[in-house]
Structure formats: C-alpha cells, structure tokens
Structure 1
Amino acid sequence: MTAFRAFRIRQDDAGYRAGIEAMDSGDLSPGEVLVKAAYSSVNYKDALAGSGKGRILRQFPLNGGIDVAGHVVASTDPAFREGDAVLCTGSGLSETRDGGYGEYVRLDARWTIPLPDGLSLRESMILGTAGFTAALGLLQMLDNRQIPEQGPLAVTGATGGVGMLAIDIYSRAGFEVHAISGKADHFDFLRQLGAAQCLDRHELAFSGKPMDSARFGGALDNVGGAMLAGLLPLIAPYGNVALCGNAGGIGFESTVMPFIIRGVNLLGVASAGTARDQRLRVWEHLAAPWKPLHLDRIATREVTLEELPGVFPAMLAGGSFGRTIVRHADT
C-alpha cells in the first residue's frame, strides 16, 4: 500500500467540506487498475462538486476529479501492465468512486482507456471530458449523416473548454465553424482556433418564428434554454443539433416544425456513461485526424491540488476561459 495526497470531498454531521487529505492506496474505491496520476483537469462538474454548489457526488467521502491520466502501477486485469499510459473520463469518477484529484486512483478496467499514440498524458487532460464531449457530439452528428455541404456548424458557449475544443476539432474535421459567445473581447482568439465567423449572442436576433431561413448546417449547443430554441428554426434540412450543456437553463420552448418539416435532429450528448467501444472511437479520432492544433493555447491555466479551491468560484460565475489542468506534484 502507498500513502499519498488527495483533494477529498466529505459530507457528514460536520457539513460539506473539501480539502487535501493524506490517504492510503488501500482506501481507494475498488477496481482492477491502480494508476499513479500525472494530470487531471477542471470541469464545471468538478467546480460544483468541490465547492458544494451542486449535487454531483452520490456517496461520501470521495476524491474529486472526473478526469485522470497517468501510468499503471498494478493491475489484476491482463489487458493492462505496469507502466502502461492510460486515461479515464467520466465513468463514475467523483460521483460513485474516487476521482482524479489524488496522486493515485484505482480504476475499473472497463472504463480504463489506453493512451492512444499521438497524445501525451498532458494533452489527453487538456482534452479531458471537454474535448471528449465535443468530439462525441461530432461523431454522433456524422453517424447521423452530417456533412460539411449542409452548411457551417454553430458552436455556442464558444469561449468555454468544450466550445474552444469544438472549434478546433470541427475545423480539423473539415467543417466551417461559426462561434457564438457573449464574450466579444475573445473573438480574435476564437478565430485563431479556426472559427470562420464569431457571433455575439447578445446581438443575435432570433425571430421567434417556428421556421426561419436556414443559417447553419448543424450545431453543438452548450447552452440550452432560449439559445437552443432560437437555433432550431435556423438549422438546414436534415441537420443535427448536438446538445451537451444547460448553462442557459434546463427547459426550452419550441415547436415540432423544424423536426417534421426539415427533418432536424436533436441529439443528446451524455459523455459520462458512453459505451467503451464508442469511447475508443472518440479517442482514436482525437489522437489523429481530429487532434486539435492549439491544445497548448487552449490550456490557459495549470494548477496543483492545493490551488483547486481558487479555481472553482470563477468557473461557477462564468468567468473561466479555456481549460484548466491539474498537475500532480511529482509529474
């Protein structure tokens, strides 16, 4: 057994709290693959869990962090050997089992993904759940016959981690990308990532009509709410809207017209529980044909476990920009 540090989240008679604790590898959640963590990342769910602002954990105590990448130190599954580089995103991390905010993590072999050739451990965590979600959304659109000829793909919430990575990934995949964001001061940056056009969400004038002139071939929507309702009438025939976020609210008002007249498809992107075969497909694409060209620019901040509490408030307030990755002490 090995002693290590972890950012652990508790809720008990003393209340909800989180911070650095000493642990032993024998106290980790069960699993076949013990990993020495090198990197993790900070996602919106991590900020909710670590601050106590959202009900993310389903049991306590647990180590935070829904993403992790590192090297195998022991495995009872023959598919993994000591020294193998691996990663894991979602799959119950920091919900039902200890997550990536520990110097060691024990993983379920079913959800442990060999690090694909073409990606470093650090790059895999710049991508993390955010990049995986963006790529999964595109894969679902392609499986549903989305093609560049239908028109540009709109990306809402474009200055967030998912949005930035989607711009880069979708451009690499051959699509014209139109970025939608309320942060106009970052438009030059979004264009450098590959956005052909940048649209200020504050200046978008949705008509409110059940149908309007087609403007986008499809979309990745991180926002939901009124944004999703406004986008649907603007999607070209048989285009797809992949929905992966609800920053604008969990409800929206629309009509059936875009669906039954133009054959528009609304695709739910639920990255946390994605089947293993689909996970492997996504990571294969992210390591080669869709690998973003600007990962180091998108990774705007790198922190240690001790610095995590200082990251959460700005992210929850909508002030985050790009991706924050967590570097473990001896990496």
Structure 2
Amino acid sequence: MRTALVIGTGLIGTSVAMALAQRGVVVHLADHDPEQARTAAALGAGTDEAPEGVVDLAVVAAPPAHVAGVLGDAMRRGVAYGYLDVASVKGGPRRELEALGADLSRYLGTHPMAGREKSGPLAASAELFEGRPWVLTPTRDTDTEVLNLALELVSHCRAVPVVMDADAHDRAVALVSHMPHLVSSLVAARLEHAEESAVRLSGGGIRDVTRIAASDPRMWIDILSANPGPVAELLSDVAADLDETVRALRALESGDDEKRRTGAAGIEDVLRRGNAGQIRVPGKHGSAPRVYEVVGVLIDDQPGQLARIFADAGRAGVNVEDVRIEHATGQQAGLVQLMVEPKAAPLLSAALRERGWGVRQ
C-alpha cells in the first residue's frame, strides 16, 4: 500500500490516517466538514488535498447510516482500487451497497474494536488500535487483493485481524458493546437528579459501570439506529432478568420466611450467573482470565508518585499485571491497587514497605 484516501476525519478515521502516515503511506483526507479534515492534516494524519489519481485503498469512516452512500459515491467516482469501511455495524451497509448495484468484489466491511469516550480528530491517536481486535467480514465475492490491502491496513495499525460473518458480527457487538452502552447510560441517568450527598459517595464501582456513558449521544444514535434489532432482543432479556430481580428483592422485604428464602435464592441466582459470565471476558492480551492478588499502596497526589511505585516494583522483580487508582474524597490522596500474580504479592508488599510505602494487602 502506497497511497490511501480516508473519508471521514473523526476519531477513528484520523487515527487510521495517523497510523498509515507513520508507516510511510501517502494519506489523503476528506470530510464533509473541510475544517475537520484540515485539523486532521495539521495533526500529521496526511494531506487534505485531493489525490491526483486512483489510490490503493479508500477507508470510509462515516456513521453507519451514511456508510453505503459515501462508499457508493466513492466507488462511482473510481477513487481507489479497494474500498473498506470501519463502521461498527456490518450487515446493513453491505446490503445497502448491494441494492445500489455496487461492485462488492472491491469492497470489504471492517470494524476496529477500539475507541474512546471522546470524539473528533483532536482525540485521535496512531496507537488507538494497537493490540485490539479488528474484524474483517469478507465474502466469496471479495477480491483477494482487496482482502490483502485490508490485512496490510490492520498490520500498519498494529491490530489483530479477526474474520467473521457480517451478521454474526452485528449480533456480537450488540452483546459486548451496544447493549452494555445503553445499560451504562441507564445507570448513569439515575445520578442526574440524585442528592449531592449520595453522589459524593461514588467509588470505583459506579465509575466502572458508568464510564462509557460519557460518550457522544449523537454518535450512539447513529450506531444504535443501524443495529436496533439485536440490541432490542438483548435488552428484552435484560428487562426480564430485572423484573425477576425486583420480585426477588420485594420478597426479601416480606415478613414471610419462605418468601425471603425464595427472594434470596433469586438474588443468588443472578449474582452467580453474573460471576459465570464475567469470567468469560478475555484477560490480558486476550488470554484466559486470571485471578490476581491486589496490593494497595497509599499515595499523595504529587508528581512522580506512580513512577516511583512502578520503579520500586521493577527493582523487586515483580511484573504489575494491571493497576487501578481509587481517589480519596476531598483529599489529595488515593489508593493505587496493583494487580500481580498471587505468589508475587508477598514479595511486592515487603519490598514496597522497605522503601517506605504504606501498603494495604
């Protein structure tokens, strides 16, 4: 791949363009908002000047509802040898392209499983896709050279290619992305008019559950409008579980011992099913989930504290598998939770205590 055209210079499009430009590909940028394309160009994502001839690959980074139209226009103009999109829904755009009479041999639907709560070119990063799955949905019609260009793109972005059927992909992202986003938003909505005294008690749990609710609603309306059926089916199942859970909780309020036992059993069932589902979420580097020991370290909110902790862990020969930070309410302090292999936890705790850290294991 020597040349590429990225159509749509939001977070994903600009990040793709940055990654390609850093690998020596001449990238041309286009957007319905010329100012946004100029911003992406100023960030080093390429040039906002139109290509003089046919480019090797056109990457359409438009909202799902507009993908087919943008692709169809680009294919009619013959701007590239191969065409792909990076929308989060795959079945609908392909069927729309087919209805438009487009040459599907030159097209491949893809979806990088990466993103951020922020949108726009200023939020973009060439490293956005590193180590992340990138779904490819080729069919028997897909030209081999187009598939090779897509694989080259994924390699330049340092992502991991995953081949799936388009409709299977849409059902999968409804489960692991679209439905959870709505549930996160529903939980976060409970906080909008809550008492300030209650919100101030927020900790890591509510932050984890509501983090993705900070995303741009306009973008998510586009995504959900393109995949409503699978998401609605999943939410219907969640609603049924919620109804059962509400009945179980009401039973726990009862003065009848039998009803209380039934209610407790219902709550235990949903919690255990949650345990069983959670352990299926892939762990580090996509491996099977691992159970780590948590070593807590008290820190002041001052420059260099985290660097010192990681350096001291390295001197002790301990690899930190993951890290979380709990910030103290109303204080310039917090608790850094270091996740390590269970056998390494005592060694790390002892080493950090020797170096003067306040350790909580």
TM-score range, shorter chain: 0.3 to 0.5
Hey, which of these two has a bigger chunk of helix by percent?
A: 2
Larger Rg: 2
Hey, which of these two has a bigger chunk of strand by percent?
A: 1
